[in-house]
Amino acid sequence: MCEYLVMFKTLTPLWTGDAAGECNGLRETGILGSLRWWYEALVRGLGGYVCDPTDKDQRCDFGKKKSGETKDSDQGIHDVIDGSICPACQLFGCTGWARKFRIEVEGGIAVPEVSVRTRKKRNGKYLTRKTSGLMSSDPIAMRVVPLRKIEEDEWILLNRTLDIIANYGALGARTSQGCGVVSIVESDLPFGGGSVKDVKFRGHKKASSQNLNNFPNMKNFFFFKLKLGFRDVISNLINKEVFWTHASDDKFFTRVRGNWEKLWQDFSILPIAFHARDALRISLSKNGISENVLGKIGMGSKLFVSHGYKIDSGTVEMRIWGYGVGNEVKDRIKHRIKNALEGTLFAHDNFLQCCELVEEKAGADILGD
Ligand SMILES: [Zn+2]
């Protein structure tokens, strides 16, 4: 079978690490997991049903449903699998049904680690938060290798998944902490011009109304792009150490000299996702809103922020997106984030000149494109 190539650039560090918290090289499983997450959100948004893979009674299991003769043959199998497993499992696999493609991806070097400490003590201690992940000055090649026939509709959905990731969201893990902003330079995946409006989900036994409400659904996404302009060139601000890194009574903070500079000079990154999350928390602090959407123990975040990536010497762009949070949250972010950032970005004074919402997109609009 043919192989295809997607070339992408990293705008913020890509994180595909293991359970131990190490990210020494790009891991295909980390990329695939992220592709699947966005693909599932897209399918749900388009009215398809996606199983809950964390629930062993609810998740698809092809072996359990059908046995024997049809399982290993591609001949006439579509009617069988369409009824048995959900569209995401059909492409990405589940028990008894192998994934339809594999990917190979390599490249990237580890970015210098930058540490920021929490503003408040947790259990009597300040905690360290680190920037890490892989970036590459050259585009990274992701080879897509089909292992069995991928349907036209599946290619259309996969193309749109990559579009959404590259234009509005992020790829890999730690996307709520700054990582994974990429742009696609080139892609030769088939059916790139297809429209998701024409995709049909054939006769699955469960209707989209059975999708669980709290799962990501493209219909309920919003995407913001902010442009942050500073009062001086960013390299000067970094040299003057104006960005917040730790509280004044924090004895255990250690600065690795030069890493902020290296991150900016060599990788065009301003590591401010942590500051932005703090700013979101401040913008949303009312009646437990921030806890509900920014996550707490045992509950993931529904809001995601990127680090700043360079537009020019005094300007960065930053992405903020989320799902299922409602209009009040979006409006609060829109109207309060500048003030909140002025308070969280800097150790003293305010060097933020402008914070402009340069693009706003609703998931529902993406589905209609
Ligand atoms: Zn499934």
- Model confidence pLDDT, tens digit, residues 244-272: 999 999 988 888 889 999 999 999 999 99
| CA of 89 relative to ligand 1 center, distance in Å | 4
Question: What's the gap in Å between 91 CA and the centre of ligand 1?
Answer: 9
Centroid of ligand 1 to alpha carbon of 102 (angstroms): 18
CA of 92 to the centre of ligand 1 (A): 9
| 94 Cα: distance to centroid of ligand 1 (angstroms) | 7
CA of 175 to the centre of ligand 1 (A): 24
Decide: helix, strand or coil at residue 69.
Answer: helix
What distance in angstroms lies between residue 52's CA and the mean position of ligand 1's atoms? 7
| pLDDT classification of 233: cutoffs 50, 70, 90 | very high
Q: Ligand 1 center to residue 201 CA distance, Å?
A: 13
> So what's the pLDDT on residue 206?
64
Q: Pick from 205, 167, 201: which is nearest to 187 by CA? A: 167
Measured in Å, residue 303 CA sits from the centre of ligand 1 at 25
56 CA distance to ligand 1 centroid (A)? 11
Question: Which residues, at least 6 apart from 89, have a Cβ–Cβ distance to it below 8 Å?
Answer: 51, 59, 60, 62, 97
- pLDDT tens-digit series, residues 234-249: 999 999 999 999 999 9
Distance 93 CA to ligand 1 centre (A): 8
CA–centroid distance, residue 40 to ligand 1 (Å): 9
- Continuous segment of H or E residues that includes residue 311: strand 308-312
- What is the whole-number distance in angstroms between the Cα of residue 9 and the centre of ligand 1? 31
Say which amino acid occupies 353: Q
Collapsed DSSP state (helix, strand, coil) of residue 64: helix
Q: Which helix (H) or strand (E) holds 10?
A: strand 4-10
**pTM for this entry:** 0.92
Q: How far is the CA of 43 from the centre of ligand 1 (A)?
A: 11
pLDDT level of residue 203 (50, 70, 90 thresholds): low
- Give the max Cα distance, the chain: 71
Ligand 1 centroid to Cα of residue 31, in Å, is 18
Buried b (16+ CB within 10 A) or exposed e, 59-95: bbbbeebbeeebeeeeeebeeebbebbbbbbbbbbbe
pLDDT at 337 over 90: yes
Residue 68 has pLDDT above 50, yes or no: no
Question: Averaged over 128-145, what is the pLDDT?
Answer: 93
Give the least confident one: 109-118, 198-207, 231-240, 335-344.
Answer: 198-207
Please check the confidence at residue 209 and state whether its pLDDT lies above 70.
no
pLDDT at 69 over 50: no
R_g (Cα) of the chain, nearest Å? 22
Separation of CA 250 and ligand 1 centre (Å):
48
Spacing, Cα 294 to ligand 1 middle (Å): 27
CA 331 → CA 176, 315, 363, distances in Å? 19, 24, 16
Instruction: Report CA(80)–ligand 1 centroid distance (Å).
Output: 14
DSSP 14: B
Ligand 1: centre distance to CA 63 (Å): 13
Statement: residue 89 has pLDDT above 60: yes
Token pair of 239 as six digits:
């040299």
Ligand 1 geometric centre to CA of 76 (Å): 20
The dihedral over CA atoms of 215, 216, 218, 220, expressed in degrees to the nearest 10, equals 80
pLDDT value at position 64?
63
Q: How far is the CA of 103 from the centre of ligand 1 (A)?
A: 20
pLDDT confidence of 214, banded at 50, 70, 90?
Answer: confident
pLDDT tens-digit series, residues 10-30:
999 999 876 666 767 888 999
